[in-house]
Structure 1
Amino acid sequence: MPVSQEVLDEIALTRSEYDLIVERLGREPNSVELGMFGALWSEHCGYKHSRPLLRMFSHTSPVVLSETGAENAGAVDIGDGLAVVFKVESHNHPSAVEPFQGAATGVGGIVRDILAMGARPVALLNSLRFGPLDDTEQGAVNRHLFGGVVRGISWYGNCIGVPDVGGEIYFDPSYSHNPLVNAMCVGLISKDRLASAAARVPGSVLLLAGADTWRDGIHGASGLASRTFEEEEELRPTVQVGNPFLEKVLIEACLEALDTGAVLAIQDLGAAGLTSASIESAARAGRGIRLDLSEVHRRETGMNAYEVMLSESQERMLLVALPERVDEVRAVFERWDVDCREIGSVIVEPEARIFDGAASVAHLPIQPLSEAPAYRLEGKPSSEDLARREKSLIDVPLPECGPAETLLRLLGSSNIASKRSVYRQYDHQVQTNTMIGPGGSDAAVLRVKGTSKAIALAVDGNGRHCFLDPFVGGQIAVAEVCRNISCTGARPLALTDCLNFGNPLRPDIYYQLEECIRGMALASETLDAPVVSGNVSLFNETQGQAVHPTPVVGALGLLEDASKAVGAGFPVEGLAVMLLGHGLGIASSQDMAGSEYLSVMHGLTAGQPHIDLELERRVQETCREGVKQGLVLSAHDCSDGGLAVALAECCILGGVGFRFQGTLDGLSRWDAALFGERQSRVVVAVHRERMHLLEDLAKATGAPVSLLGYTGGDSLQIASRNEDGTDTGDGVDVPVSRLAGIWTQSLEAASA
């Protein structure tokens, strides 16, 4: 009898996909088999609507050690026999349903992806999006989500002893029903010790290590992360429950077991649980598996085969070892008091033979099970999309409150205000590698023990720019995260991404997805930073309201000399402050497109964003070389809030004032000049007597450079004068202490 539509809806399969399954098998699947297909053909596991588009990314460079998609994370050679492994992944839908556990298990899952490469996790970062924290009823819901997510991240990360060193948080109405919770983890390993998930050796034994299996997370991949949802309560059982203390010992036990050389392959149990872990390990090697589910250690009695195969219980790893070395591996886990059970074996035939004791519960060919159908749709922007992009900003009025008050209002915006109230809940010094942590620079910097090197880490994205023009916005997302890395003096090596979008079956959403990827691919190639890992999160949508298209990009950079790393704050008085990139003289209303200024002061999200990738490349090269030569003493990119906000943040972080050299005279739009978000600009501080050396460097690289002013005093001063030289009153003269008070306290006050 054909399966009901209700059952197909539960596992997020279409009728045509079910018919394809029947065609591939030559028969109707039983319930366990159908559940396995539903999980592996889900959007979350199968990448049905994104896989063809992801081929646009460049994945190779001389330093890339991994094949994208072939393993759990990307691996990059940093020299000295070492590799860095990193990846970013989403836990959006679980966090919308249960924010604390959703965010916590998101951290646990990404850590196990790094562990599955054999690497020790050394850093965490996160990228978060919420609706506004206002006084409305929805604002109260957003504050609940925000608080729960932050607590979940801090609880899990602090307990497992991995420092949370950086991240970003944005607020926008589009995220009110759909918070985005993206977690990034970074690991370090000797490059000749990289582990694989491929179960290649027939006759080898499958070992399940870690937590007991129970009924949490069933249909998490298919029912929760692969469709839009309207009711939270009915989905609450699909959210996993984490145990970070078990994860900590699981990390140590797995690393010790890998050190013995007895482990042939290792894979984490994440989305789709044992189904995904076992089938993917077999598929990567062209082998098959035989499982006996009666050997799986369980927390609950009465669990059936369907529940065991699809449970997404956390803190579990699948290991592969030769029969003669199984006892050696199990002894390691016994020392750490972690359960490790023999649950099956690798077989030559590319089949999944699943038993529960003597009873056969599933018998499937690996290839059709592991290869979900791929869909290449036709995207098209909506008329509303085009109208927003084409809206002229020339007639946007200047704020009556003037530049100083505008600056203060922007510094108090939740998108710009300091995130200290969040990151002070995270331990960012554990493991003693953190040289520059959250809030100190545009990227975190971690020393690599035993070498003179450091790695720089950042995660960034701007859904507003992508909402207006996904192609340009995708470029900006990559450019900005690389710029963050370059501002420390590090050279960007590689990228990871998490693509957060609405329902791809809508032509306007598919258009956003395709164009964003196309823009990101172009920027990745131009800046020589290949994409080595990532994740796609679709169906972030409730009642027809999709999130802004939000490609979150994580970047890894390398500093050959860790002592050269610089922060964002002005370090001392008496320095010249220079701008790499185009100066104020060419500011126009176009620079306000998608800006925080336009949103805060005018309630608008409109205009056409712009970026010149070749200029971006030259500006970043100049900044890095300036740091390397000891010319650049601090560097901070111009992004949210524009130049004036960047200068204010430099003053606040360094505790030093700044006086603008010149005035706002002659500028047709002081708002565009001070608060427009023209790309490819970096504020740098240099010794006055060495200004000419930076100018010579900029000339050699082809990057524009101009003098902005000098550090000193206790205020941020930007003058505005009449033709007779008198002050117009439209300038900026605000004590750094006042700037700092608003910037540091606003988010905490809004979230209380």
Structure 2
Amino acid sequence: MSEADSDHELIVAELGREPTPAEAALFENLWSEHCAYRSSRPLLSAFESEGEQVVVGPGDDAAVVALPSYDDTSAGDRDIPEAGSNSDVYITLGIESHNHPSYVDPFDGAATGVGGIVRDTLSMGAYPIALTDSLYFGSFDREHSRYLFEGVVDGISHYGNCIGVPTVGGSVDFHPDYEGNPLVNVACVGLLNEDRLVTAVAQEPGNKLVLVGNATGRDGLGGASFASEDLAEDAETEDRPAVQVGDPYAEKLLIEANEQLIDEGLIESARDLGAAGLGGASSELVAKGGLGAHIELERVHQREPNMTPLEILLAESQERMCYEVEPDNVDRVREIADRFDLGCSVIGDVTDGNYVCTFKEDEQDESERQTVVDVDAEFLGEGAPMNDLPWNEPAEAGTELPEFDLETAFDAVVGSPNTASKRWVYRQYDHEVGVRTSVPPGDDAALIAIREAECGLAIAAGAAPNWTAANPEAGARAVALENATNLAVKGATPLAAVDCLNGGNPEKPDVYGGFKGIVDGLAGMCAELSVPIVGGNVSLYNDSVSGPIPPTPTLAMVGTKASYEAPPLAATADEDATLLLVGDDALEADSFALGGSEYLVQQDGTDRFPTLPENAPARLEALETVANDDSTLATHDVSHGGLAVSLAEMVTETAGLAVSIETDSPAGALFHETPGRALVLTTDPESVRATFDGVAPVASIGATTTDGTLSVTVGEDTLERTAGEISERRSVIEAELE
């Protein structure tokens, strides 16, 4: 029996009758993989989501985390507040995927992904203050990949810039297995306090359900079920109606209207209209409160004539919010909506019964009203049976190392689109709007000012498809450590994270085995680092005629520090500065693993995945301490592309670097990508050694020079490149697209 037939039998047994067409469509969408997580939910219990700082964890539109307060006498002393114990400053964290829509229509698909995650932020009572975008495409040398890349970036920049929310970070990766199915993962950070907090839990029978925002049209119909299927060869034409069309100017009005509604305490609960449209938002809202609703669908303000009840329920038209409002406050909500030129419909009531939707034509008598949906809201939202799928352990990679030539390898890795400058991308984003951004995109992590809490918030986001393709579990552990290291080199302590778990068709045992691996790996390292996973998103069926995507665990992690001032740049260094490499156990033992590295990808080699450090928390704490020390001139993460890329990036910020490394393996020393390492440019190397004593190795590998050249001696090989030559090679994306 197929899953659809089995679901149908279960629904008929629950209802005691055949479902109506509208009910059948609601169940199809809300019981889809995209909404119900039928294949992934059994695995997600691996994540640790609780912590003293966690106010609202997984299950709502976004998570809510309390920011720590810092002792002014010491930048390193901070107090993590108990959740809900005070009205201090909170942030929201949320992440979403808009993968299939971005393949079919890259501009609108990516743009509405931004709009959706921003509305998730609004529904918690927060004001959006920062975005990150993690993007994954097929090989950069493919024309179709570049077409999707340009369209997605254009859509993100247009929407984000118009609504005035800065895009401060993210990542861009190219891998041939994304050719038929790119990924667009968008995260948002919002700001609020305890008094402004709203959830998606309906509060009281008798309250009104009010729809505020754009009018409802026929765009995005069936988007949830579309997102739960493999992409077909003709998806770009056949599935275009399932892609929503966004209006960022309406979203900006909605942001400001929501702010006033929250300020005046008019909202009891809220849900943004995303997957499955009004049917999804309203049924989930009342189900979370153990309640029901009575909705009169013809009351919904519409922009197209003759819409059917099913279309009104399932359309995923953008820029809409569903609010629970006390009856006495409805007129004031309508006034605020009118002031911001937004539509407003009182569509029904919260009840203590079933979730009921009725409909009548405008000219019909009330006696002609039809009941099109009458189901238990909790059964609709939570009744989908989970899938118990078989899985295979991914095969271990073999060892096949390519011939090594220092200059050829260095130029290839530094000039790869994966490790090259992403300046072409982030300079299209307005990262300064809101005047909070201290460290902009392009660094290891962004840093934004939370003046309300007198602290800085560091944000890192991304994954590493080469790593998780080579070894899903170890690669995902490395992704978590890499994001945490990006925060530590900015002097921030990790606070919390959200994930977007992307995989192929889970019905294939090898694909599901890889997906299970990234869940276990991410969960394991985050638990080790004491970083709660407070929310996230799952996107499966990222499969097409070209095959499944690599298992891709995008992580968006935030950390805090006492100061929000930008750390010093390496350009402030003088000639006496010493360059240290901290945390590289492989260099000390002269034993390197290159699995998952860009070096091997460039030369079609294989190798085992590197062993990660066993004391990662202690290493990050030491690195955070060093990054905040006055004698530290610069700190820089070492990971993607290895030491070679980190040196290339650092030399563009300094007068020059002279580097010498003693090793029998030049390729291993320069190009292995084990995370948890960093370059430290310091005027007090002994202080750094003392901080890392007993924690991790510290190697002195070079010094600054005045000639503007990177000179690298590795074993018996020497390479020299000017900063200008390096910058030109790292501009491969700009050179191709401009």
TM-score (norm 1): 0.92
Offset, 1:684? 1.0
Alpha-carbon displacement from aligned partner over 1:512-537 (angstroms, at most 9, x marks no partner): 11121111111011001110010000
Alpha-carbon displacement from aligned partner over 1:383-410 (angstroms, at most 9, x marks no partner): xx52xx34124xx2333xx323322221
Structure-1 separation of matches of 2:590 and 2:320: 55
1:583 to 1:707, Cα distance in 2 relative to 1, 3 A? farther
Q: Do the aligned residues in 2 keep the contact of 1:610 with 1:679 (CA within 8 Å)? A: no
1:543 to 1:171, Cα distance in 2 relative to 1, 3 A? same
Amino acid at match of 2:697: P
Q: Do the aligned residues in 1 keep the contact of 2:392 with 2:512 (CA within 8 Å)? A: yes
Offset, 1:627? 2.3
Which runs of structure 2 are paired with 1:551-630 in the superposition (5 Å)? 551-563=553-565, 565=567, 571-582=573-584, 585-586=587-588, 590-600=592-602, 602-604=603-605, 606-630=606-630
Structure-2 separation of matches of 1:414 and 1:206: 49
Offset, 1:115? 0.7
| 1:27 aligned onto 2:30 | no
SS in 2 for 1:301: coil
Q: Do the aligned residues in 2 keep the contact of 1:623 with 1:632 (CA within 8 Å)? A: no
Percent identical among aligned pairs is 38
Structure-2 separation of matches of 1:398 and 1:572: 38
1:636 to 1:279, Cα distance in 2 relative to 1, 3 A? same
Q: Do the aligned residues in 2 keep the contact of 1:108 with 1:156 (CA within 8 Å)? A: yes
Alpha-carbon displacement from aligned partner over 1:156-176 (angstroms, at most 9, x marks no partner): 000000001111101010000
Offset, 1:641? 1.0
| 1:695 aligned onto 2:689 | yes
1:613 to 1:330, Cα distance in 2 relative to 1, 3 A? farther
Which runs of structure 2 are paired with 1:55-204 in the superposition (5 Å)? 55-69=45-59, 71-79=60-68, 81-134=88-141, 139-204=142-207
What residue in structure 2 maps to residue 435 of structure 1? 438
SS in 2 for 1:707: strand
Which runs of structure 2 are paired with 1:665-680 in the superposition (5 Å)? 667-680=663-676
SS in 2 for 1:683: strand
Q: Do the aligned residues in 1 keep the contact of 2:114 with 2:186 (CA within 8 Å)? A: yes
| 1:734 aligned onto 2:721 | yes
Q: Which runs of 5+ in 2 are unaligned?
A: 70-87, 362-368
Alpha-carbon displacement from aligned partner over 1:305-344 (angstroms, at most 9, x marks no partner): 0001000000000011111111111111111111111000
Deviates more, 1:590-599 or 1:220-229: 220-229
Amino acid at match of 1:615: N
Structure-2 separation of matches of 1:356 and 1:288: 20
What residue in structure 2 maps to residue 252 of structure 1? 256
Alpha-carbon displacement from aligned partner over 1:167-200 (angstroms, at most 9, x marks no partner): 1101010000111011111111113321111112
What residue in structure 1 maps to residue 366 of structure 2? none
What residue in structure 2 maps to residue 543 of structure 1? 545
Which runs of structure 2 are paired with 1:38-437 in the superposition (5 Å)? 38-69=28-59, 71-79=60-68, 81-134=88-141, 139-232=142-235, 233-356=237-360, 358-371=369-382, 372-381=384-393, 385-386=394-395, 389-393=396-400, 396-399=401-404, 402-437=405-440
Structure-1 separation of matches of 2:453 and 2:496: 20
Alpha-carbon displacement from aligned partner over 1:195-232 (angstroms, at most 9, x marks no partner): 11111210000000001101100011012344443322
SS in 2 for 1:563: coil
What residue in structure 2 maps to residue 37 of structure 1? 27
Offset, 1:471? 1.2
Q: Do the aligned residues in 2 keep the contact of 1:569 with 1:650 (CA within 8 Å)? A: no
Structure-2 separation of matches of 1:569 and 1:307: 58
What residue in structure 2 maps to residue 649 of structure 1? 649
Deviates more, 1:482-491 or 1:18-27: 18-27
Offset, 1:350? 4.1
Which runs of structure 2 are paired with 1:449-460 in the superposition (5 Å)? 449-460=451-462
Alpha-carbon displacement from aligned partner over 1:543-585 (angstroms, at most 9, x marks no partner): 2600011100000110122237456777554311111102563
1:47 to 1:570, Cα distance in 2 relative to 1, 3 A? farther
Which runs of structure 2 are paired with 1:518-533 in the superposition (5 Å)? 518-533=520-535
Alpha-carbon displacement from aligned partner over 1:334-376 (angstroms, at most 9, x marks no partner): 1111111100010012433444462211111112111121113
SS in 2 for 1:38: helix
1:584 to 1:286, Cα distance in 2 relative to 1, 3 A? closer
1:274 to 1:572, Cα distance in 2 relative to 1, 3 A? farther
Structure-2 separation of matches of 1:32 and 1:169: 40
Alpha-carbon displacement from aligned partner over 1:589-624 (angstroms, at most 9, x marks no partner): 752111001111x123x3321343533222211110
Structure-1 separation of matches of 2:611 and 2:591: 15
Structure-2 separation of matches of 1:356 and 1:464: 55
Q: Which runs of 5+ in 1 are unaligned?
A: 722-727
Aligned length: 710
Structure-2 separation of matches of 1:627 and 1:592: 28
Structure-2 separation of matches of 1:168 and 1:250: 28
Amino acid at match of 1:392: T
Q: Do the aligned residues in 1 keep the contact of 2:200 with 2:288 (CA within 8 Å)? A: yes
Structure-1 separation of matches of 2:501 and 2:586: 34
Structure-1 separation of matches of 2:206 and 2:36: 28
Structure-1 separation of matches of 2:714 and 2:282: 67
Structure-2 separation of matches of 1:356 and 1:364: 19
| 1:17 aligned onto 2:7 | yes
Structure-2 separation of matches of 1:738 and 1:334: 57
Deviates more, 1:586-595 or 1:711-720: 586-595
Amino acid at match of 1:255: E
SS in 1 for 2:271: strand
Amino acid at match of 1:706: A
Q: Do the aligned residues in 2 keep the contact of 1:587 with 1:672 (CA within 8 Å)? A: no
SS in 2 for 1:76: strand
Structure-2 separation of matches of 1:568 and 1:513: 40
Structure-2 separation of matches of 1:295 and 1:240: 22
SS in 2 for 1:248: helix
Offset, 1:133? 2.2
Structure-2 separation of matches of 1:18 and 1:613: 50
Q: Do the aligned residues in 2 keep the contact of 1:207 with 1:319 (CA within 8 Å)? A: yes
SS in 1 for 2:111: helix
Q: Do the aligned residues in 2 keep the contact of 1:496 with 1:534 (CA within 8 Å)? A: yes
Structure-1 separation of matches of 2:121 and 2:626: 34
What residue in structure 2 maps to residue 473 of structure 1? 475
SS in 1 for 2:593: helix
Structure-1 separation of matches of 2:591 and 2:544: 34
Q: Do the aligned residues in 2 keep the contact of 1:570 with 1:651 (CA within 8 Å)? A: no
Q: Do the aligned residues in 1 keep the contact of 2:356 with 2:371 (CA within 8 Å)? A: no
1:644 to 1:697, Cα distance in 2 relative to 1, 3 A? same
Q: Do the aligned residues in 1 keep the contact of 2:38 with 2:387 (CA within 8 Å)? A: yes
Amino acid at match of 1:698: F
What residue in structure 2 maps to residue 636 of structure 1? 636
What residue in structure 1 maps to residue 517 of structure 2? 515
Amino acid at match of 1:708: I
Amino acid at match of 2:375: L
Q: Do the aligned residues in 2 keep the contact of 1:716 with 1:733 (CA within 8 Å)? A: yes
What residue in structure 2 maps to residue 725 of structure 1? none
SS in 1 for 2:711: strand
Structure-2 separation of matches of 1:64 and 1:569: 39
Q: Do the aligned residues in 2 keep the contact of 1:566 with 1:627 (CA within 8 Å)? A: no
Instruction: State the Cα RMSD in Å.
Output: 1.8
